[in-house]
Structure 1
């Protein structure tokens, strides 16, 4: 089987469902296993993400540059502005860094394989409204009416290992 590179997948759910915590845990596990991971975070709270004021790179942007890049000691920070950024553009940018995996936190309606977090019973229809659901993780009670989708309690000790195996299987299709 050939490895799909980069393998792009999502961690999705409503606000305060544990997306960032799960994303962190997956990134730690994947990198510990020797995989290079890049991440995209959807800023779903409205407005632009915060940028440091008064720095030279910000001053370049304030002067009219469409993008500013700061590099030092192997670390690179890029700030770019345009009307909007489509998810495929963000994925393409990160793909240039040659990761094995791109993890997208959020963008629940996008068409990539995804893990769906269900915080409470009010969220349990979400997995059925989305495409390419690889697994569902729940906090309270397991969602009903899910067909052929693995379901795990979020606090399960084996959950991360199970998700890792799902990712590996998808990567090596």
Structure 2
């Protein structure tokens, strides 16, 4: 299983890029999963539904299953947020895991940057950044592709992804 992150400030276009790249990769026969970092409290459950009621009652985990999908919700209940490495260990095997967010984690990633955001670049201070997808002009030795060039962005992602075993070694970041 290979892994690559997409990191950037809110509004840079990470989700939009993923929505365009995932179908591209699927057409190439690449099985893809995504880990998305959310800020603060979020909910994937609907208030009033049984699974929501179970979590509200204090269950540590609630697994919901149907003939179409299953989802596992784990409540931290004050415990520390799991690190990326722990979350990756929970994923079912696929060809490529795309990690959206986790910009402060020390993993290999592609910086997604939009000029209109007027936010600072991450790459000068993050040795884990292996390339940049942007609509801005930038001086760097890193490979750079335009936000709208999905073929080139997908190729950069595939070239930059590394095996899960190598993900956190000092030689690759």
What corresponds to 2:129 in structure 1?
133
Q: Cα 1:157–1:55, aligned 2, differ >3 Å: closer, same or farther? A: closer
Match of 2:29 in 1: 34
Match for 2:110 among 105, 108, 115?
115
Q: 3-state SS of the aligned residue for 1:127?
A: coil
Structure 2: runs of 5+ lacking an equivalent: 167-173
Displacement of 1:160:
3.4
The structure-2 alpha-carbon separation of the partners of 1:161 and 1:85, relative to structure 1 and needing over 3 Å to count, comes to closer
Map of 2:54 onto structure 1: 60
Counterpart for residue 69 of structure 1: 63
**Residue aligning to 1:151:** 144
* Larger helix proportion of the pair: 1
Which residue does the alignment assign to 2:88?
A: 91
| Aligned residue in 1 for 2:17 | 22
Count of residues in correspondence between the two structures: 160
Runs of 4 or more consecutive aligned structure 1 residues displaced over 4 Å after TM superposition: none
Q: Which runs of 5 or more structure 1 residues have no equivalent in the other structure?
A: 1-5
TM-score (norm 1): 0.80
Q: Is the 8 A contact 2:63 2:70 kept in 1?
A: yes
Q: 2-side partners of 1:66 and 1:88: how far apart?
A: 21
C-alpha RMSD over aligned residues: 2.3
- The CA distance in 1 between the partners of 2:83 and 2:154, in whole Å, is 32
Q: What's 1:163 paired with?
A: 156
